[in-house]
């Protein structure tokens, strides 16, 4: 009985771990690229604020003081609105009004569990979220945030974010949170 014996030199044996590391590193890069990686933001300067928005999102201005950014695949959007501060209404009342406007036309509206306030740019914003179905039968989650500065800038700021319910958690983590972290007030 004849047996072939394969001999490895120390050089050949030492290459195996390096090749394995190289293969796994390449696989990791491919997977991270396929998952999209961190969102790339570009700075938008609004009335009294600036904020990063995804580079490929379309921008429209449907009314004075309002700007809407929409993802290229139309699965999510972000609405910003700035108005004069309203001393007759508190921040929570403004939030309810803003969320009502953002959710107009939705059916089967239900609360979406989320903290009632959040810190953005060092200020406490009121926050509410809902789930609902639009007129095309798409289940959406909408988050509304409002901050009213009655002392300095004399402005009320609103941010509304909408995404498909099925991908909301991922969109919130990958897109909305980086956008909110980039928000700054300006004179």
- pLDDT of residue 83 exceeding 90, the answer is yes
Any idea which of 1-5, 94-98, 138-142, 150-154 has the lowest mean pLDDT?
Answer: 1-5
Q: Which residue has the higher pLDDT, 76 or 10?
A: 76
Mean pLDDT (the chain, rounded): 84
Using CA atoms, how far apart are residues 155 and 147, in angstroms rounded to an integer? 8
- Cα 15 from chain centroid (whole Å): 44
Question: So where are the chain's domains?
Answer: 41-185
98 close to 161: Cβ distance less than 8 angstroms: no
Name the token pair of 179: 């956008």
Binned at pLDDT 50, 70 and 90, residue 187 comes out as confident
In CATH, the number for domain 41-185 is 3.40.1000.10
If phi > 0 it is left, if psi is from -120 to 50 it is alpha, else beta; for residue 67 that is beta
Largest CA distance in the chain: 98
- Whether 14 shows a pLDDT value over 60: the answer reads no
Tell me: the pLDDT tens digits for 130-143? 999 999 999 999 99
Q: What's the predicted TM-score (pTM) here?
A: 0.79
In 3-state terms, what secondary structure has residue 167? helix
Helix (H, G, I), strand (E, B) or coil at 178: helix
| pLDDT value of position 37 | 55
pLDDT digits (tens, 9 = 90+) for 36-60: 557 899 999 999 999 999 999 999 9
Contacts (Cβ under 8 Å, ≥6 apart) of 43? 50, 51, 52, 182
CB-based contacts of 98, cutoff 8 Å, min separation 6: 81, 144, 146, 158, 160
What average pLDDT does range 147-165 have in this prediction?
A: 93
| pLDDT of 11 above 50 | no
Reading the block at residue 81, the tokens are 């609105």
Tell me the C-alpha distance between 182 and 187, whole Å.
Answer: 16
For residue 155, what are the β-bridge partners? 84, 149
Give me the mean pLDDT over the 92-103 stretch: 96
Cα(105)–Cα(113) distance, integer angstroms: 21
Which of 146, 157, 160, 149 is closest to 104 using CA atoms? Answer: 160
């Amino acid at each position: 009985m004849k047996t072939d014996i394969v001999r490895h030199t120390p050089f050949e044996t030492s290459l195996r771990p390096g090749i394995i590391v190289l293969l796994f590193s390449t696989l990791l890069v491919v997977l991270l690229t396929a998952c999209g990686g961190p969102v790339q933001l570009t700075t938008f300067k609004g009335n009294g604020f600036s904020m990063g928005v995804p580079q490929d999102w379309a921008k429209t201005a449907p009314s004075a003081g309002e700007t809407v950014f929409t993802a290229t695949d139309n699965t999510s959007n972000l609405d910003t609105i700035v108005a004069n501060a309203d001393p007759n209404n508190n921040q929570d009342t403004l939030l309810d009004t803003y969320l009502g406007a953002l959710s107009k036309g939705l059916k089967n509206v239900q609360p979406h569990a989320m903290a009632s306030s959040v810190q953005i740019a060092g200020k406490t914003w009121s926050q509410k979220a809902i789930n609902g179905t639009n007129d095309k039968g798409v289940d959406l989650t909408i988050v509304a945030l409002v901050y009213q500065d009655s002392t300095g800038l004399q402005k009320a700021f609103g941010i509304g974010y909408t995404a498909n319910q099925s991908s909301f958690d991922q969109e919130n983590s990958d897109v909305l949170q980086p956008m909110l972290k980039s928000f700054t007030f300006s004179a």
